[in-house]
C-alpha cells in the first residue's frame, strides 16, 4: 500500500446522498469524506451504486437529497477545470485523431488547445504512442484508445482524478502500468478516487476505502480499520490432530484437514501458547495472520456481495 | 491549474469540434448539393401558393357612382363571378363622389383602380398594364349591369405609375417569397439537429462532456455549431446562386421582385436575423427531442412528425400575410416558432422597424428558454439513469425480459 501525504480539508465530501431511478433506489444515504492527497477506493459489486455515487459527486446528475462538495465547492461543475474523470464506459470520437482527442478533453476543462496539443504530444511520446498521435481513434486498438482517454483525463493536470472502474478491460501489464500511474499522480499531489470491484487493486493502492453494497455505505475509513474489524487468524499445525491440548483452543476452532484454524482470542497469543505448551501439543507451525481486505470485505459486505464481485469467499 | 473557462468558451470548444467534424467530412459535399431538390420542389410550391393567393386576393376597384348605380354594378359582378370557369372578378368598393382618384389609389384601403361614372362615360384609373384583364372585366360588369344584350361599353383608361393596392400586392409577393425561402432553409437545415446527440450517446462521449461542462453548454455548443454549418452552406449556395443569376438571367431580373416596405438592405439583414432565430428556435426544440432518441432509427421515426410540425408553422405564418392583424396574424407573430416566418412577411409589407427589434428579442428569449428546458429534460431523463442507458421513453420498445 502506498503511503500518501494527506493534508488539509477533504477534497470530496458527501452527506446522505440518495438517488432513485424510476422505482429503484440506487443510492441510499451515502456519506463519504475523501482526504486531499489520498487515493480512495470505492469498492462494491456491479449495481452497488458506485457509478451513480461518482456521477452525483461530479455533478453529472443531481441527488434526490443530500449534499456534496467537490474541492470545496457545493456545485461540482464549478470545480470541473480541476477535475479529471474517466467514465466506466469509455467514450471518444472515432474520427478524431489521438492527439486532438487529448487536447479536446483538456480544452473542455479550460486548457488552451495549443497547450493541450503540446502536452498530448509529450504524453503520447512517453507511452510510446507518438506514431499514433495523428491517427484517428477508430484505427487504435482498444488498449491504446483507453490509454488515450486516460491521458485526456490527466492532460490538464487535475487536482482531483476520478476513475470509474479504470482497470476493467486492461490486461495484467496495463493494469500494472495504470497502478504505477495512479501512484505517480498521487505522489505529485493529486487526490484520486477510483471505483473497482477488484479488491486487490484497492488493497495495493488505497489508504482509505468505502465499501458500497445495495446502495449503502457498509464501511468507510482506512483500509487498516477495515482489516481491524476482524480478529487475526491463527493457523496451527500439530503432530497429532487431537489431544488434551484441544482445551486450549477457542470454541470456534476448526480442523481443515491439515491444520487448525481459528480467530486469535481477545486475550492475545500468550494464554493460547501457554495452554498448548503445557499440554504438549507438539506444535509444528503456528502463524498469526492479519486478515486481508478481501476477508474484511466479506465480513463487512457479506458473502453475497463478494460472490457478486467474482471474488469468492475465503476458505 | 487551468484558466477559468466560461460557458461561452466551453460552448465554443464543443461547437468547434462539431463544426470541423461536419465540414471536413466527405459527406458535407453531399450536404452542399442537397438543396438542389428542395429548391425545385420549393419553386413548385411557391408557384402554386402564389397562384392560389392571387386567386384569393382579388384586386379591389373603387367605384365613384351613385348608390343605385353601385348596387347595379355590384349585382352584375356577383352574377358574373358565379359563372363557372371564369376568372374571379375584382371586388368593388363604393367611394364618395367627391374623392379624387389619386386619393383613393394611395389611400389606406388598397385599391388597384378607380372606376368613375360607370354608366355614363366610364373612366378607369390605376396602375394597369396595356392589356390588363381588369379592363375587360370592368367592361363586362358594366355591360351586364346595363342589360343582358348590351354591347361592351367603351372605357377610358388612365394609367398611373403605382397605387397602394399594387404596392401591397407586390409586397405580398415579396413577403411570400421571403417566407418560403426562410421556411425551406430552416426545414432543410434544422432537421440535422435531431440526430446531434446520437454520436455522443453511441460513443459514450456524452458522459465526458457532461462531467466537464453544464448540459446547457453542450446544447448551446451543438446548436451554434450546426448554425455555423448551415450558414456555411447558405454562403456557398447564395454565392453560387448569385453567380448563376449574374451569368444566366436577363438584365433587370434581380429587380423583378417588388421592394419590401423596409427596403432591401434592412430586409436582407432581417432575413439573416430571422433565419438565425428560426434555426435556433427549431434547432433547440429538435435538439431536445432528438436527444431523447436512443438510436438513429428512433431519430428517423421522429423526423416525419417534426417536419409536419414545421409545415404547419409555415402555413400559419403564410396565412397571416393577408391579414397580419387578424387573430391568426397576431398569433403567428407571437408564437415563438412561427414568429420569424411571420415577421419576415411583415418586413416586406410594413415599414416599421421597432416591431422587428422586439420580435428578435422575444425570439431570443425563447431560444434560451427552450434550450434550458431541453437540457433539463435531457438531464432528468437521459443522464439520470443507471449506467447512462437512459430511462425508456414512451415510444421506445420495452427491453426483453431475461
What CATH code is carried by the domain that includes residue A104?
A: 3.40.50.300
Residue A97: how many CB atoms within 10 A of its CB? 19
Q: Would residue A244 count as lying in a domain?
A: yes
Instruction: Give the alpha-carbon dihedral of B16, B21, B22, B27, to 10 degrees.
Output: 170
Mention every residue, 6+ apart, whose C-beta is less than 8 A from residue B44.
none
Q: How far apart are CA B166 and CA B105, in angstroms?
A: 9
Q: Would residue A295 count as lying in a domain?
A: no
What per-residue confidence (pLDDT) applies to B137? Answer: 86
Residue to test with chain A: of B25, B215, B384, most A Cβ within 10 A:
B384
A270 lies in the same domain as A217: no
Q: Would you say A244 and A275 are in contact if contact means Cβ atoms under 8 Å apart?
A: no
Q: Would residue A123 count as lying in a domain?
A: yes
Residue A90 at interface with chain B, using a CB cutoff of 8 Å: yes
Give pLDDT tens digits for A119-151.
999 999 999 999 999 999 999 988 899 999 999
Q: From B387, which residue of chain A is nearest by alpha-carbon distance?
A: A51
Residue A6 phi, psi (nearest 5): -105, 120
Q: From B3, which residue of chain A is nearest by alpha-carbon distance?
A: A110
Average per-residue pLDDT in chain A? 89
What per-residue confidence (pLDDT) applies to A42? Answer: 94
Is B204 within 8 Å of A77 when comparing Cβ atoms?
no
**pTM of this prediction exceeds 0.90:** no
A246 lies in the same domain as A202: no
Q: Would residue A1 count as lying in a domain?
A: no
A54 lies in the same domain as A155: yes
Give pLDDT tens digits for A160-176.
999 999 998 888 888 89
Q: Which residues partner with B197 through β-bridges?
A: none
Residue A221: how many CB atoms within 10 A of its CB? 16
What's A163's DSSP letter?
Answer: E
What per-residue confidence (pLDDT) applies to A1? Answer: 47
What per-residue confidence (pLDDT) applies to A37? Answer: 92
CB contacts under 8 A, A 130-159 vs B, are 152, 156-157, 159
And the C-alpha cell for A195? 471505483
A172 lies in the same domain as A218: yes
Q: How many domains are contained in chain A?
A: 2
- Judged by phi (left if over 0) then psi (alpha if -120 to 50, else beta), residue B85 lies in left
Q: Which residue has the cell 490538464?
A: A156
What per-residue confidence (pLDDT) applies to B4? Answer: 45
Residue A188 at interface with chain B, using a CB cutoff of 8 Å: no
ipTM: 0.81
Q: Which of B311, B310, B330 is nearest to B320 (CA)?
A: B330
Q: How far apart are CA A154 and CA A185, in angstroms?
A: 9
Q: Which domain holds residue A280?
A: 233-289
A196 lies in the same domain as A264: no
Q: Which residue has the cell 501457554?
A: A274
Contacts of A89 in chain B (CB under 8 A): 204, 207, 387-388
Report the b/e string of B271-287 with b at 16+ CB within 10 A.
bebbbbbbbbbbbbbbb
Contacts of B201 in chain A (CB under 8 A): none
Residue B386 at interface with chain A, using a CB cutoff of 8 Å: yes
A153 lies in the same domain as A268: no
A107 lies in the same domain as A13: yes
Q: How far apart are CA A251 and CA A243, in angstroms?
A: 15
Please calculate the CA angle A222-A63-B381 and round it to the nearest 5 degrees.
135
Q: Would residue A301 count as lying in a domain?
A: no
Which of B10, B17, B204 is closest, CB to CB, to A91? B204
Confidence of residue A226 (pLDDT cuts 50, 70, 90): confident
Collapse the DSSP code of A231 into the 3-class scheme (helix H, G, I; strand E, B; otherwise coil) and give the result.
coil
Q: Would residue A303 count as lying in a domain?
A: no
Q: Which of A43, A92, A5, A49 is nearest to B204 (CA)?
A: A92
A248 lies in the same domain as A153: no
Q: Would residue A215 count as lying in a domain?
A: yes
Residue A114 at interface with chain B, using a CB cutoff of 8 Å: no
Confidence of residue A312 (pLDDT cuts 50, 70, 90): low
Q: How far apart are CA A119 and CA A127, in angstroms?
A: 13
Q: Would you say B160 and B113 are in contact if contact means Cβ atoms under 8 Å apart?
A: no
What per-residue confidence (pLDDT) applies to A52? Answer: 92
A283 lies in the same domain as A177: no
Q: Would residue A237 count as lying in a domain?
A: yes
Mention every residue, 6+ apart, whose C-beta is less than 8 A from residue B35.
B184, B188, B233, B237
What is the edge-to-edge ordering of all strands in the sheet holding A216-222?
Answer: A83-86, A160-164, A191-196, A39-43, A208-213, A216-222
A195 lies in the same domain as A238: no
Report the b/e string of B107-140 with b at 16+ CB within 10 A.
beebbbbbbbebeeebbbbbbbeeebebbebbbb
Q: Which residues partner with A158 through β-bridges?
A: none
Query: Could you tell me which residue, A108 or A266, shows the higher pLDDT?
Result: A108
- Judged by phi (left if over 0) then psi (alpha if -120 to 50, else beta), residue B132 lies in beta
Q: How far apart are CA B89 and CA B73, in angstroms?
A: 12
**Total residue length of chain A:** 315
Residue A112 at interface with chain B, using a CB cutoff of 8 Å: yes
Which of A51, A90, A108 is closest, CB to CB, to B13? A108
Residue A108 at interface with chain B, using a CB cutoff of 8 Å: yes
Residue B68 at interface with chain A, using a CB cutoff of 8 Å: no
Q: Which residues partner with A70 through β-bridges?
A: A12, A73
Q: Which of A171, A184, A176, A158 is nearest to A39 (CA)?
A: A184
Question: Does residue A278 have a pLDDT over 80?
Answer: yes
Which of A26, A91, A110 is closest, CB to CB, to B207? A91
Residue B26 at interface with chain A, using a CB cutoff of 8 Å: no
A39 lies in the same domain as A63: yes
Q: How far apart are CA A249 and CA B300, in angstroms?
A: 74
What residue ranges of chain B have pLDDT lower than 50?
1-4, 386-390, 401-402
For the residues A277-306, what does the mean pLDDT come to?
Answer: 83
A59 lies in the same domain as A99: yes
What per-residue confidence (pLDDT) applies to B389? Answer: 46
Amino acid at each position: 500500500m502506498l503511503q500518501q501525504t494527506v493534508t488539509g480539508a477533504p477534497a470530496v465530501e458527501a452527506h446522505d446522498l440518495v438517488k432513485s431511478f424510476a422505482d429503484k433506489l440506487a443510492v441510499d444515504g451515502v456519506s463519504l469524506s475523501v482526504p486531499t492527497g489520498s487515493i480512495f477506493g470505492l469498492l462494491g459489486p456491479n449495481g452497488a451504486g458506485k457509478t451513480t455515487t461518482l456521477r452525483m459527486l461530479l455533478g453529472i446528475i443531481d441527488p434526490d437529497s443530500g449534499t456534496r462538495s467537490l474541492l470545496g465547492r457545493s456545485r461540482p461543475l464549478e470545480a470541473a477545470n480541476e477535475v479529471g474523470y474517466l467514465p466506466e464506459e469509455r467514450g471518444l470520437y472515432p474520427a478524431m485523431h489521438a492527439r486532438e482527442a487529448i487536447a479536446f478533453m483538456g480544452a473542455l476543462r479550460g486548457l488552451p488547445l495549443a497547450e493541450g496539443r503540446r502536452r498530448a504530444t509529450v504524453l503520447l511520446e512517453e507511452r510510446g504512442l507518438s506514431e499514433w498521435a495523428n491517427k484517428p481513434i477508430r484505427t487504435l486498438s482498444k488498449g491504446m484508445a483507453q490509454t488515450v482517454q486516460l491521458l485526456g483525463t490527466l492532460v490538464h493536470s487535475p487536482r482531483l482524478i476520478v476513475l470509474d472502474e479504470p482497470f476493467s478491460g486492461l490486461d495484467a501489464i496495463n493494469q500494472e502500468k495504470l497502478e504505477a500511474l495512479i501512484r505517480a499522480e498521487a505522489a505529485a499531489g493529486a487526490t484520486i478516487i477510483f471505483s473497482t470491484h477488484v479488491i486487490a487493486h484497492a488493497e495495493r493502492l488505497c489508504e482509505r476505502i468505502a465499501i458500497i453494497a445495495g446502495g449503502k455505505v457498509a464501511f468507510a475509513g482506512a483500509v487498516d480499520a477495515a482489516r481491524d474489524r476482524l480478529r487475526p487468524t491463527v493457523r496451527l499445525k500439530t503432530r497429532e490432530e487431537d489431544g488434551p491440548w484441544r482445551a486450549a483452543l477457542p470454541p470456534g476452532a476448526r480442523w481443515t484437514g491439515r491444520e487448525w484454524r481459528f480467530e486469535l482470542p481477545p486475550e492475545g497469543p500468550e494464554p493460547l501458547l501457554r495452554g498448548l505448551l503445557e499440554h504438549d501439543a507438539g506444535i509444528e507451525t503456528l502463524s498469526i495472520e492479519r486478515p486481508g481486505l478481501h476477508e474484511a470485505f466479506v465480513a463487512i459486505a457479506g458473502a453475497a456481495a463478494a460472490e457478486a464481485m467474482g471474488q469468492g469467499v475465503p476458505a | 491549474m487551468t484558466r477559468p473557462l466560461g460557458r461561452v468558451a466551453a460552448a465554443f470548444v464543443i461547437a468547434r469540434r462539431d463544426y470541423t467534424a461536419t465540414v471536413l467530412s466527405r459527406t458535407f459535399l453531399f450536404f452542399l448539393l442537397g438543396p438542389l431538390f428542395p429548391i425545385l420542389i420549393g419553386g413548385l410550391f411557391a408557384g402554386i401558393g402564389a397562384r392560389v393567393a392571387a386567386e384569393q386576393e382579388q384586386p379591389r376597384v373603387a367605384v365613384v357612382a351613385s348608390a343605385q348605380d353601385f348596387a347595379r354594378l355590384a349585382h352584375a359582378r356577383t352574377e358574373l363571378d358565379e359563372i363557372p370557369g371564369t376568372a374571379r372578378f375584382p371586388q368593388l368598393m363604393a367611394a364618395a363622389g367627391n374623392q379624387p382618384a389619386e386619393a383613393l389609389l394611395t389611400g389606406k384601403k388598397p385599391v388597384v383602380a378607380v372606376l368613375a361614372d360607370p354608366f355614363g362615360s366610364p373612366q378607369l384609373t390605376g396602375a394597369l398594364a396595356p392589356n390588363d384583364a381588369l379592363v375587360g372585366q370592368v367592361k363586362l360588369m358594366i355591360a351586364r349591369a346595363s342589360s343582358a344584350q348590351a354591347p361592351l361599353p367603351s372605357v377610358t383608361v388612365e394609367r398611373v405609375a403605382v397605387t397602394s393596392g399594387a404596392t401591397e400586392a407586390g409586397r405580398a409577393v415579396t413577403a411570400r417569397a421571403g417566407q418560403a425561402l426562410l421556411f425551406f432553409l430552416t426545414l432543410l437545415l434544422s432537421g440535422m439537429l435531431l440526430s446531434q446527440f446520437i454520436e455522443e450517446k453511441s460513443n459514450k462521449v456524452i458522459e465526458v462532456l457532461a462531467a466537464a461542462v453544464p448540459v446547457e453548454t453542450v446544447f448551446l455548443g451543438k446548436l451554434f455549431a450546426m448554425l455555423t454549418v448551415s450558414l456555411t452552406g447558405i454562403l456557398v449556395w447564395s454565392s453560387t446562386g448569385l453567380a448563376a443569376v449574374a451569368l444566366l438571367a436577363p438584365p433587370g431580373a434581380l429587380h423583378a421582385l417588388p421592394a419590401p416596405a423596409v427596403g432591401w438592405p434592412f430586409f436582407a439583414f432581417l432575413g439573416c436575423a430571422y433565419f438565425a432565430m428560426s434555426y435556433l428556435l427549431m434547432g433547440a426544440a429538435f435538439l431536445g427531442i432528438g436527444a431523447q432518441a436512443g438510436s438513429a432509427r428512433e431519430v428517423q421515426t421522429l423526423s416525419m412528425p417534426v417536419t409536419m410540425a414545421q409545415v404547419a408553422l409555415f402555413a400559419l405564418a403564410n396565412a397571416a400575410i393577408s391579414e397580419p392583424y387578424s387573430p391568426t396574424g397576431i398569433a403567428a407573430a407571437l408564437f415563438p416558432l412561427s414568429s420569424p416566418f411571420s415577421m419576415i412577411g411583415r418586413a416586406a409589407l410594413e415599414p416599421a422597424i421597432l416591431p422587428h427589434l422586439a420580435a428578435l428579442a422575444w425570439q431570443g428569449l425563447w431560444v434560451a428558454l427552450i434550450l434550458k428546458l431541453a437540457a433539463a429534460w435531457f438531464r432528468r431523463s437521459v443522464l439520470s439513469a443507471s449506467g447512462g442507458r437512459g430511462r425508456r421513453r414512451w415510444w421506445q420498445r420495452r427491453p426483453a425480459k431475461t
